[in-house]
Amino acid sequence: MNTPVNENETTLIKGCIREDKKSQEVFYRMYAGKMMGICMRYAKNREDAEDILQEGFIKVFNNLKNFKAEGSLEGWVKRIMINTALLHYRKNLKYSDHVDLEYAGAEINDIDILSAISAKDLMSMVQAMPDGYRMVFNLYVLEGYIHKEIGEMLGINEGTSKSQLARARKYLMDLIKKKEN
């Protein structure tokens, strides 16, 4: 599954470039659920996530001819989705440079609460975060980018990315605690 591009994928990609609707549908179904999951994390709600997904897939189909079979196809599709999501919210993003790393100290108990939350509930909490927090949180915790890279992607400095992440974590913990009570 991590192999860059296999023969089936090549055939599928060719079909999509030929604008063969069946290939495009197979391609779409292959990634729709997974990519929707990613879009959900970056979006405020399901509707926004679908908008991003649609926009992302249009870009994917328009640019598939430029896909170089060097990396994994899924990684490529995923990057397009993430970039689309970032663009979608870019205009709303407001960052404060005020570094405020004051936490409501997390306790061991919080970990148990967090493990107890269903994936769906956790998702809606992530969606409830302010846009700027959510972007940094996703890029760092779930995509594994470092602050320097996130800074470049969002056009902010490294320190801002760090403080946004700290705030995002605090925000999430507050939501989780609220749910517990």
Partner 1 sequence: MSSNLTDEMDKIIQEKLGGYVEEPSPDLFDSIVSGRKQSGQNNVLTKILLAIAGAAIILFLLYKLLSQQDHSSGSLLYPALNEQNLLTSTPDHNSVYPAVNRQAAPAYKNFWAHMDGRIFSRNYAADYATGNTTSINPQYAARNMAGKARGKNNSIAHTQARPAAATRKTDPAKGSLSQKAPADEVQTLKAMFTYLVDSNGHVSFFNQSDEIGTTVSYEWFFSDGNKSYSSNADHHFIANGTYHVCLSISNELGAYDSYCEDVYISNAPIRKNLIGKVNAGHNAPDKGTVYLIRFDSSSMVPYMIDSNRLDELGYFSFNNLPDGYYIIRATLDTRSMYYNEYIPTYLGQTLVWNNARRYATYGLGHHGNSEMLVINLLPLSPRERGNEQVNGELPPSNNPLDKMLILYDEQGRPISYGYVDPGGKYSFTDVPPGKYTVYDPRTGKYVSYDVGKGNPTPPPAPKPSEGENSSGTPSEAGSGSPGNLQAYPNACNEELTVEFDNPTLSKVTIKVVNPVNYSIPLTQEVRKPSAHQKVFLYPGMLPNGLYILMVEFADGSAPLTTNILVKH
Q: Applying CB under 8 A, which of residues 16, 40, 64, 154 lies at the interface with partner 1?
A: 40
Rounded distance between C-alpha atoms, residue 14 and residue 92, angstroms: 37
Nearer to partner 1 by Cβ, of 91 and 105: the residue is 105
Nearer to partner 1 by Cβ, of 154 and 165: the residue is 165
Q: Applying CB under 8 A, which of residues 10, 14, 18, 25 lies at the interface with partner 1?
A: 25
Q: Are 55 and 84 in contact (CB under 8 A)?
A: yes
Stretch of 89-97, 128-136, 141-149, 153-161 contacting partner 1, by CB under 8 A = 141-149
Within 10 A of 44 (CB to CB), how many other CB atoms are there? 17
Within 10 A of 6 (CB to CB), how many other CB atoms are there? 13
H or E element, residue 82: helix 73-90
Q: How far is the CB of 79 from partner 1 (least distance, A)?
A: 11
The site string for partner 1 over 51-80 (x = CB under 8 A, - otherwise) reads --xx--xx--xx---------x-xx--x--
Nearer to partner 1 by Cβ, of 68 and 94: the residue is 68
Q: Are 173 and 181 in contact (CB under 8 A)?
A: no
Q: Are 167 and 100 in contact (CB under 8 A)?
A: yes
Q: How far is the CB of 124 from partner 1 (least distance, A)?
A: 11
Token pair, residue 29, equals 């179904």
Residue with tokens 């992302």: 56
- Amino acid found at 149: E
Q: Are 161 and 154 in contact (CB under 8 A)?
A: yes
Count of positions (residues) in the chain: 181
Q: Applying CB under 8 A, which of residues 17, 48, 122, 124 lies at the interface with partner 1?
A: 122
* Residue 117 in the binding site for partner 1 (CB under 8 A): yes
* Residue 94 in the binding site for partner 1 (CB under 8 A): no
| Site for partner 1, rule CB under 8 A | 1-2, 21, 24-26, 28-34, 36-38, 40-41, 46, 49-50, 53-54, 57-58, 61-62, 72, 74-75, 78, 103, 105-106, 108, 110-112, 114-120, 122-123, 126, 140-146, 169
